C-alpha cells in the first residue's frame, strides 16, 4: 500500500449548495484562493479540474481544504462522483495548486486615509477571531478596507451566497468589531 494515500472527508457547511472537502494535508500553506467562476481558474490546475465536474459553479481552496459550490439543481451525489476522480488525477499529476505568484489584492477601500493602528487592530481581530471560525464552515473572509466607520469585507467559499452570511456579518462580526473598536459603526460585504 502506498504512503501517498489521502483520505478526503466531506463536511456540510451552512450553505446548502456548498460542501467542504477536508484533505487532511496542507496544500496551500497560510493562504487561500477563491474562484467564484471558471473564468479565473486557469491559474490553478486543481480548480480547472474541479470546474470540469458538471454542476460545479465555484471553487474555494483553503490551506488544507476545498469548498465546492454547486448549481442548486445538481445533486451532491452527481458532484461527488466527479470530484473524487478529479482530485485523484490532480494529486497524481504532481502539479502545483497555483501557477505563479499569488494574485495581488485589489487596492483597499480608504487606503491612506484610515488610522493605520485601527486598521491593524481590525485585521488582527479578523485574523484571530473570525477567520478560523469561518474556515471551519468552508469559507474565508478578506479585509477590503475601512472608510468613515465602515469595515468592508469579502466573503469567500461557502460564505459567498450563504443564506446565513448576512446574519454572521451583522450579528457576529459587526458586533465583535464594534465592541473592540468603537470607531467601527458598520460592516458591509463587497
Res 135: pLDDT? 79
Res 150: pLDDT? 87
Residue 59 has φ and ψ, to the nearest 5°, of -135, 130
pLDDT digits (tens, 9 = 90+) for 91-148: 999 999 998 765 555 677 777 788 889 989 999 998 888 888 777 777 778 888 888 8
For 128, residues 6+ apart whose C-beta sits below 8 A from its C-beta are none
Query: Could you tell me the pLDDT band of residue 1, with boundaries at 50, 70 and 90?
Result: very low
Res 2: pLDDT? 44
Reported pTM: 0.71
Res 134: pLDDT? 78
Per-residue pLDDT at 154 exceeds 60: yes
Res 121: pLDDT? 92
Most confident of 132-136, 148-152, 157-161: 148-152
Give all domains of the chain, ordered by start, each with its CATH number.
9-93 (3.30.1370.70), 116-189 (3.30.300.130)
pLDDT digits (tens, 9 = 90+) for 52-105: 999 999 999 988 899 999 999 999 999 999 999 999 999 999 999 998 765 555
Query: Could you tell me the pLDDT band of residue 164, with boundaries at 50, 70 and 90?
Result: low
Res 82: pLDDT? 95
Exposed/middle/buried for 48, CB within 10 Å: 0-12, 13-18, 19+? middle
The contacts found for 124-130 with CB under 8 angstroms, 24 or more apart, are: 125/176, 125/177, 125/180, 125/181, 126/153, 126/173, 129/176, 130/172, 130/173, 130/176
Res 73: pLDDT? 95
Amino acid at each position: 500500500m502506498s504512503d501517498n494515500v489521502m483520505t478526503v472527508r466531506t463536511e456540510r457547511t451552512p450553505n446548502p449548495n456548498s460542501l467542504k472537502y477536508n484533505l487532511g494535508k496542507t496544500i496551500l500553506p497560510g493562504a487561500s484562493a477563491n474562484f467564484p467562476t471558471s473564468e479565473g481558474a486557469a491559474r490553478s490546475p486543481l480548480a480547472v479540474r474541479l470546474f470540469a465536474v458538471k454542476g460545479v459553479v465555484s471553487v474555494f481552496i483553503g490551506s488544507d481544504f476545498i469548498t465546492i459550490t454547486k448549481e442548486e439543481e445538481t445533486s451532491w451525489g452527481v458532484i461527488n462522483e466527479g470530484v473524487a476522480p478529479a482530485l485523484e488525477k490532480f494529486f497524481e499529476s504532481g502539479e502545483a495548486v497555483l501557477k505563479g505568484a499569488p494574485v495581488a489584492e485589489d487596492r483597499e477601500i480608504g487606503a491612506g486615509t484610515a488610522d493605520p493602528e485601527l486598521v491593524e487592530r481590525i485585521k488582527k481581530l479578523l485574523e484571530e477571531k473570525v477567520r478560523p471560525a469561518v474556515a471551519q464552515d468552508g469559507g474565508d473572509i478578506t479585509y477590503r478596507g475601512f472608510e468613515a466607520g465602515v469595515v468592508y469585507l469579502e466573503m469567500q467559499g461557502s460564505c459567498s451566497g450563504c443564506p446565513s452570511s448576512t446574519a454572521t456579518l451583522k450579528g457576529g462580526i459587526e458586533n465583535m468589531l464594534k465592541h473592540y473598536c468603537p470607531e467601527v459603526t458598520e460592516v458591509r460585504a463587497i
